[in-house]
Structures are given as C-alpha cells and as structure tokens.
Structure 1
Amino acid sequence: MNMINVNSEALSAIEREFTLNVNGLDLAVTTWGDERNPPILALHGWLDNSASFSRIAPLLDQYYVVSPDLAGHGKSEHRSPSQAYYLWDYAIDMSIFVKKMGWDSYSILAHSMGTGVASILNSISKGIKRIVFIDGMGAPFTISEKDVVSHFKSALRLSEMAHSTKLNGFSQKNQPQYSSIQDAVKTRQKVVGGSISLGSAKLLAKRDLVSVESGYRWQHDPRLTIPELIQLTEVQAGCFISQIKCPLTIILGTNGLFVGEVFDSKSQYLGANARVCWHEGGHHMHLENLNQEMISEIKSSLSTP
C-alpha cells in the first residue's frame, strides 16, 4: 500500500488563512484550493485544529477545503466563562459560518468530534450535499439515560477541582507549561485511543502553542479538557445520525475507536444512505495512514450524485 507524503514546502505554498467573526467570536480559518471550486467544510476533532487536515486537504484539489478552528481550539477565540463547549453550540457556530461564507451548497469532511458537530449541523443547515466521516460516528462522548445525574455531579466536581488546583492549563496565561517546543510536541503525541507520530504531533502543536516568558503553553481553552456538564445520550446522538438523508460515507480505522461493540451500538442508527468503509489505521488515520486507496474513497464519496 503506497503511503502519500505532502511535504511542508507544498503545504505552506497552498494554504491560506483568514479570521471570521462568528457568533461574537473570531474564528481562525485555514483553506486549501481555489475558492471557485465546490466547497468542503472540514471539521476537526476534540483538542485538534485545522492542521488535522493539512495532509489530506491539498490532495482534494478539485475542491475548496475550508477548516475553521472550532471555538476554544487552535488559534480561535475562547467562549466566555458563562458559555460552554457543547456539540450543538459548535453546530450553531458552523451554521452561521456557512451563511457568512455565502455557500448555497457544500459538503462536509469531519473527523472524530467533528462528526458529532456535523450530524447536528445537518439538522439545521440547508444545502449539505454529501458527508464523509473519518473515524467518527456522530457524538463521540455519550452517556446512558440512567447516568445523566451522576455525570452532571461528577463533571461539576472535576471543573471545580481543575480551577482550584490550577491543573490542565488552568494556571495564569503567562505561566509556561513546557520549557521547550520539543517537550510540548512529545506530550501532543498522546491522543485519544493511543498516540500519533512526532510529525503529526508537530503539525497540531504548531497551531496550538503560544510562546510565553521562559517557555510555551497551549492556547486552547483548558475547559476543553474536562467533561461538559450535559452530554447527549446514545439515543439522542443516534437520532441526529439517523436524520441524515444525503449520501454519508463513514471511513473507520481497523485500529480506531469504533470497532467491536462500539460500532455495533452506533451502526443501528445508520440509514440506507450510509456506507461504511474500513481502512488500515488508527483514530488519526487521515494524518497517519493516508494512502491512495483512502484518497480515492474520499474523492469518490464527495462526487457521489
């Protein structure tokens, strides 16, 4: 199987960036390709940023790939202390974003948490032609109905503890978390479901690190590292997946997060419009295991009538 490499020089030559105010927040946006081409909204995963698509987007050269850093992620602004980071809030942001971009129709390429955002966005935004999920099947973090109250209490305790102990980046904004970029990148190699290569970690870390006196720290909102007080139940998340009527392709990694019982529980909500494809790789397969077969699969899915 031939792996595909996109070198850093090529990336820097074709990437463009801009900032767009959405719902009162300045969102940092990365684009690839000609804006006259059919648009693709690329939605990254939890604690990632638009650099998540920096290897795959340049290969989708017949499209205009647009990836915002979701609120609180990467270079985008944080929500106010009175606001939270719920999936439906991201979806509302993206609905406004699409309108501001002036898109009458567009497709979605989403990874992990981004698939949950996409499933909700699909319910409130018109003009979505096709959707491609990469190692994601809607809301990634769900709870059972019987655990709603206990989860609320536990999440609140974790939030209070994080604030009081200054853990997980809740320290002062000028206080370093790492003495060097190398230390930060090594930490960034740890992801949900395992680890990623040093090269992939560098891509994600570069867009998330900020220099402070005597070191570096993450610029994403530390509140992202603790659970939200309210999470969708598995049934609620399934409802958003089942109402997707446009062509839906779900590309899952053989070593990803959606194998075995997890896949069985979520696949029951898929409609006749959904197609599941398995590829070798883990959760960040679009960064780690990019190959011609996967690219062909994605291009074919995006051109499905």
Structure 2
Amino acid sequence: MSENKGKEVAIPVPWGTVAAQSWGDGQGEKWLLIHGWLDNSNSFHYLAPLLSQRGDTVIAIDLPGSGHSSWLPQGLMYHDLEFLGAIHRVIKYLKWVEFGLIGHSLGGGLALTYAATFPEQVTHLIMLDITYLPVRPLTPPQFQLRIRQAIESIELAEAKFGTGNGKVYKTKEDVRDRMMQPPVYLRFQDEGVLETYTPESADILLERGLKEVEGGFVLRRDIRLVLPSIHHIDWNDQREQAKEIKCPHLIIEASKGPKSKFAHSMYDIYRLNPKFKQVDIEGLHHVHLNQHQTVNKVIMDFLDECDRNKKAKL
C-alpha cells in the first residue's frame, strides 16, 4: 500500500492540526478530497495518485477527530456542519483560489454544501455514493428528542471512555472483522445494506485508522463522532443549496449503497444544471475503493469531457 501514500501534511488550526496527504505539485487542477463518516484520507488511496498523474495537485484530508487529525477539545460535541469551517481553514492555509472537490458519503455532502456556499471557488464537484449532506446515523429527527439524546449521549460516552478511543481490540484482524459488519442503521433501511467494504478496502483504511496501545489496537477516530448530532441541515435548505451548483457536477451512485427517497429526489434539481452527470455502478457503498478501476475511469472520462468542453468554448 505504501506506493500510493501521499506526503504527510499538518495544517494548523486553533485546536491542533488537520492532517492530510498530498500528491503532486503540478500546474493543473487543484483538488481537495473529503472522506466519509468514520473513514480517513486513505479512502482516496487509488484516486489521489491518479489525479496527480494528470499534473494536478491533490490534498486528501482527515476530518477532525479522524485519522491523524486532532480531536476537538474535551467537552465539545462534533457537529457535521462545523466540519465546513475546518475545510475552509484548510483552503485558506493552502491559499487556493479555485479548486475541485471530491467527497465520498458524508464527505460528498460536505463538498456539496461547501460548493453551494462558496461557488466562486469550486471548479468541479464530484460526489461518490451520496446526493446530499446526510443526517448523522442514529440522530432522531424530532427537535427535543434529538437535543436530549445528543446531550445525554456525550455524558454517557465521557463517563465510559473518558477521552479515549473506545474499545480495545486484541488483533488487527479483530478490528477488520468488526469493520466488515455494517452499522445497525444500514442493516434496517428499506433496502438493507449488509456490507460496505471488502477485506482489502478495510485494510487500506485501517492502515491509517488504527493505533497500537497496551493490550491491542484501537481505532484512531474520536468516539464522539458516533454520537447523535445536535443539529443538521433542514431538508428545504438542502434543496435550495442544490440549485446553487453551476460547475461541472458528477455523482457516482453504487447500486448496493444506502438509499432514501429524499436522496433520489435531489436529482430533479441537479439535472437543471446542464453540466450535471449521474453514473450508476454495480457495487457496495465503498465502491471507489472496492472497484476503484471502474470508478476512476468514470471520473477521468468526466474530467476529459470537461476539458474538451472548456477548450471548445475558447
């Protein structure tokens, strides 16, 4: 796996650092890559080096609390929307004026919201098996219940784990076996998701997401990331932000990924953008890792088409 590793980057933020990997320093496009919930920047193990071979500059971040990035200070909750602030700090640090965004799952939703909020900065938007910014799993939609569960959950987590990572696993294989079991919320959807990774994909993410401790191994991610979120974007706001995407926009949807009626309803809005393209691929939610060659070809063909269209207008 080491041949695909990027150069380690540590971007200073007020609570520590946002860790990242970088590939390439060419004169082509600039790309920021954002991984999904509970993953890390190794999510783009195959795609990032390929983009750099085009002469592009690629930065794949570990979101706060994930991978090698700093955790938020003790006592605070993670709000997925506040990841956008961390992303903006990264962009400001890099001094990027224009760049493309690629995100998987939660990362794709974050990329969408960032592109809608700062449209003058984003040249391309590529979303992998997601069409909107999802609600963090196990978060109740009802206002009072959501707030109560978020507050009580962090109290319980602090009492049980303190500031630790959570469960200690005896071997790396034990961790992989746990990863291969999809979260409960996926299994009980209308179209139950019974798997998301292949063993090879899980190993790629664990290479960056695992830490050895006394007695075995722990996942590097902050346990607070799995707790219910205290707030999320209203559905109407999600639809409105979709109207703001005017740049070339690609969504790749995996046939066996998580589905929802709301997610598919977003396509009617996206199709108002003449630069929008949707591609369906047979595969699991982590299709960009499991079937990277197929996904990467779709992305590269899309970028080649964008380049041709751009040149045709010059």
Same structural fold, with TM-score higher than 0.5 when normalized by the shorter chain: yes
**Residue segments in structure 1 that go unaligned for 5+ positions in a row:** 1-7
Q: Report runs of 4+ in structure 1 exceeding 6 Å deviation.
A: 142-146
Partner SS, residue 149 of structure 1: helix
Q: Is the 8 A contact 1:130 1:301 kept in 2?
A: no
User: 2:83 maps to what in 1?
Assistant: 90
Q: Is the 8 A contact 2:252 2:280 kept in 1?
A: yes
Q: Is the 8 A contact 2:136 2:229 kept in 1?
A: no
Matched, 1:21 2:9: no
Aligned pairs (5 A) from 1:47-62: 47-60=38-51, 61-62=53-54
Query: Aligned equivalents of 2:32 and 2:300: distance in 1?
Result: 14
Query: Aligned equivalents of 2:121 and 2:297: distance in 1?
Result: 24
Q: Is the 8 A contact 2:115 2:125 kept in 1?
A: no
Between 1 and 2, higher relative CO (CA 8 Å, sep ≥ 6) is seen in: 1
User: 1:238 maps to what in 2?
Assistant: 239
The Cα of 1:176 is off from its aligned counterpart by 6.2
Cα pair distance change 1:142/1:227, threshold 3 Å: closer
Query: Aligned equivalents of 2:170 and 2:40: distance in 1?
Result: 22
User: 2:153 maps to what in 1?
Assistant: 158
Aligned pairs (5 A) from 1:24-173: 24-60=15-51, 61-62=53-54, 63-125=56-118, 126-141=120-135, 147-164=142-159, 166=160, 170=161, 173=164
Aligned pairs (5 A) from 1:186-201: 186-191=177-182, 193=193, 194-201=195-202
The Cα of 1:243 is off from its aligned counterpart by 1.7
Query: Aligned equivalents of 1:142 and 1:183: distance in 2?
Result: 25
Q: Is the 8 A contact 1:189 1:197 kept in 2?
A: yes
Q: CA-atom RMSD, angstroms?
A: 2.5
User: 1:182 maps to what in 2?
Assistant: 173
Give the counterpart letter for 1:74 in structure 2.
G
Give the counterpart letter for 1:158 in structure 2.
S
Partner SS, residue 133 of structure 2: coil
Percent of aligned pairs with the same residue?
25
Q: TM-score, normalised by structure 2?
A: 0.83
Q: Which moved more, 1:218-227 or 1:152-161?
A: 152-161
Q: Which moved more, 1:101-110 or 1:34-43?
A: 34-43
Q: Is the 8 A contact 1:107 1:302 kept in 2?
A: no
The Cα of 1:230 is off from its aligned counterpart by 1.1
Give the counterpart letter for 2:292 in structure 1.
L
Query: Aligned equivalents of 2:153 and 2:166: distance in 1?
Result: 22
Q: Which moved more, 1:80-89 or 1:38-47?
A: 80-89
Give the counterpart letter for 2:272 in structure 1.
A
Q: Is the 8 A contact 2:157 2:223 kept in 1?
A: no
Query: Aligned equivalents of 2:79 and 2:269: distance in 1?
Result: 21
Query: Aligned equivalents of 1:275 and 1:115: distance in 2?
Result: 15
Aligned length: 290
Residue-by-residue CA offset, 1:1-48 (whole Å, 9 max, x unaligned): xxxxxxx25324xx2111111344301111223344321100100000
User: 2:203 maps to what in 1?
Assistant: 202
The Cα of 1:145 is off from its aligned counterpart by 11
The Cα of 1:245 is off from its aligned counterpart by 1.8
Partner SS, residue 72 of structure 1: coil
The Cα of 1:197 is off from its aligned counterpart by 1.3
Query: Aligned equivalents of 1:117 and 1:175: distance in 2?
Result: 26
Query: Aligned equivalents of 2:132 and 2:264: distance in 1?
Result: 14
Query: Aligned equivalents of 1:19 and 1:190: distance in 2?
Result: 32
Query: Aligned equivalents of 2:197 and 2:97: distance in 1?
Result: 36
The Cα of 1:156 is off from its aligned counterpart by 2.7
Q: Which moved more, 1:75-84 or 1:107-116?
A: 75-84
Residue-by-residue CA offset, 1:265-298 (whole Å, 9 max, x unaligned): 3334425223221111121000012234x32321
Partner SS, residue 281 of structure 1: strand
Cα pair distance change 1:139/1:176, threshold 3 Å: closer
Q: Is the 8 A contact 2:201 2:289 kept in 1?
A: yes
User: 2:290 maps to what in 1?
Assistant: 288
Cα pair distance change 1:302/1:79, threshold 3 Å: farther
Query: Aligned equivalents of 2:14 and 2:240: distance in 1?
Result: 26
The Cα of 1:139 is off from its aligned counterpart by 0.8
